[in-house]
Chain A
Amino acid sequence: MNLLTALARLLIFPGLLFCVPAAWFFLWVERKSVALMQGRIGPPFMQPFYDFVKLLGKDTPDRPGIVGLLMRLWPLLAVASTAGAVALLPVLPAYGGFQGDLILLLALLEVPPICIIAAGFSSRSIFSEIGSAREAALTVSYNVVFLLAILSIAAAQHTFRLDALAHLPPSPLLWLGIIALVICLPAKLHINPFSLPNAEQEIYSGPIIEYSGPELAMWELSHGLEWVAATGLVATLVAPQIGTWWLAAIVFVLLCCGLVVLLAAVAAATARIAIDNTVRFYWQCTLVFAVLVVSSAILMRFRS
């Protein structure tokens, strides 16, 4: 293991230097593709960057005491953990460097929803509390499918090492798992039809209603990073095995973009559905996928 490659992975690709511009780029791709589907021109290429810098230059309200401290802490925690999750993705084929572990990746991906729930409850507005409660209900329902899918892929291969999982040969079980993951992504990214926690027209942007200025900028950034991490996770599982590092990087970025456009199309074509329907949908999915994925994982284990 080489310290230099490890640092390069954490700080450059797919770490910090890549993932922050990629977060802005994916936010733009999402907004632009929705705009194109509605027959309009849509935001300029630099729009998420403009929004971010503008928010950095705004004031924040004075919030004394522990509540103020906590409210400042949650968005930072969300950004840090998502950036860490992106850096763990085994995009480049070279062995060595920082070898990630699936359990660490899943734990890091789970931190932002927890931060959003906590942020909503610490801001003590009734709208943010409703948003947090919805986020909590949503997280509990989609995570069962999400975790089952990933863990059964891992269990069938007898490994939790990320770079081993990235190079799995395509199998029905892998595709089943990937479909389950993609079904969970709209809920994980809070886009239509599962945009309940931040429903603008009903509860005024939900848990982050009280945030402003640099803190809101951090939430926007963490949202963008969640796009990168979630689509990147699926892309690494789908990506074919490629020896050259730059080709691997290009394939990774293209796959992510394709996934972003697909999710944006789903978001543009659907309307928000109510919380009880959402929860019921995910629990029904859970039933189907749980039976399918777990039984095929057991089968594959016996066969191998």
Chain B
Amino acid sequence: MKALDRLMCTCRRRSPWLFHMNSGSCNGCDIELVAAITPRYDAEQLGVQLEGSPRHADILCITGPVTRNAVGAIETVYGQVLNPKAVVAIGSCPATTNVFIDSRTIDGPLDKHIPVDVFVPGCPPRPDAIIQGIVKAATILAERAASPSPPEAPKPEAAPEVQA
């Protein structure tokens, strides 16, 4: 049993799949996240893969200062990522709302709404820093899954019906 748990831990650490979500960012952080998975930085060496669907992802990468419109979407998507999962907040915006502080259209920072595991500061952070944050989140993910009781996590909701 021990060996199996260790194997699962390694696999979780070595295969972080990301889902990228923009909560009203200025697009600076999004570009840096995309840069992190281009051939120049080659995050695939670490098993990192950008997924199209939150259902496939382990790590939710959120950029932006959380606008009021984005709150509902963030909660839905956080519910759609299945356990075990981790959240990485990319940039200074989700950590502090940055230059948008005191705006009446902002309902940040991010950890008011969902638990955040890793903050990657910077405006925008460098791709190397983003990769380091993702690796850290993957380690947290592996350790969390190994501990017997996972922290409170809302049950995954059914997919919202999309009106054609």
Which residues of chain B from 65 to 103 have a CB within 8 Å of any chain A CB? Answer: 82-84
The dominant DSSP class at the B interface is loop
Q: Are B12 and A57 in contact (CB under 8 A)?
A: yes
| Interface check B10, CB cutoff 8 A | yes
Q: Are B42 and A53 in contact (CB under 8 A)?
A: no
Q: Are B44 and A42 in contact (CB under 8 A)?
A: yes
Q: Are B42 and A57 in contact (CB under 8 A)?
A: no
Which residues of chain A from 29 to 51 have a CB within 8 Å of any chain B CB? Answer: 31, 35, 38-44, 46-47, 49-51
A58 to B142, CA, bound (A): 12
| Interface check A204, CB cutoff 8 A | yes
Tally of contact residues, A, Cβ under 8 A: 39
Q: Are A216 and B56 in contact (CB under 8 A)?
A: yes
A211 in complex: contacting residue of B7, B12, B55, B158, CB < 8 Å: B55
B145 in complex: contacting residue of A57, A200, A211, CB < 8 Å: A57
Shortest CB-to-CB span from B46 to chain A, Å, is 9
Q: Are B8 and A53 in contact (CB under 8 A)?
A: yes
Q: Are A210 and B42 in contact (CB under 8 A)?
A: no
Shortest CB-to-CB span from A215 to chain B, Å, is 10
**B12 cross-chain contacts in A, Cβ below 8 A:** 54, 57
Tally of contact residues, B, Cβ under 8 A: 31
Q: Are A40 and B47 in contact (CB under 8 A)?
A: no
A212 in complex: contacting residue of B39, B55, B161, CB < 8 Å: B55
Which residues of chain B from 134 to 164 have a CB within 8 Å of any chain A CB? Answer: 145, 155-156, 158-159, 161-162, 164
Q: Are B14 and A213 in contact (CB under 8 A)?
A: no
Q: Are A38 and B52 in contact (CB under 8 A)?
A: no
Q: Are B7 and A125 in contact (CB under 8 A)?
A: no
**B26 cross-chain contacts in A, Cβ below 8 A:** none
**A126 cross-chain contacts in B, Cβ below 8 A:** 162, 164
Q: Are A41 and B45 in contact (CB under 8 A)?
A: yes
Shortest CB-to-CB span from B160 to chain A, Å, is 9
**B10 cross-chain contacts in A, Cβ below 8 A:** 50
A42 in complex: contacting residue of B8, B15, B42, CB < 8 Å: B42
Q: Are B164 and A205 in contact (CB under 8 A)?
A: no
Q: Are B47 and A47 in contact (CB under 8 A)?
A: yes
| Interface check A172, CB cutoff 8 A | no
Can you identify 17 A-B contacts, CB atoms within 8 angstroms? A40-B42, A43-B45, A44-B14, A49-B11, A50-B10, A54-B15, A57-B8, A58-B82, A59-B82, A61-B82, A62-B158, A125-B159, A205-B56, A209-B55, A211-B56, A213-B82, A216-B56
Residues of B bordering A, CB below 8 Å: 7-8, 10-12, 14-15, 17, 39, 42, 44-45, 47, 50-53, 55-56, 58, 82-84, 145, 155-156, 158-159, 161-162, 164
Residues of A bordering B, CB below 8 Å: 31, 35, 38-44, 46-47, 49-51, 53-54, 57-63, 123-127, 200-201, 203-205, 209-213, 216
Known contacts A42-B45, A58-B82; 15 further A-B pairs (Cβ under 8 A):
A35-B42, A40-B42, A42-B42, A44-B45, A47-B15, A50-B14, A51-B47, A53-B8, A54-B8, A54-B15, A61-B158, A123-B159, A127-B162, A209-B55, A213-B82
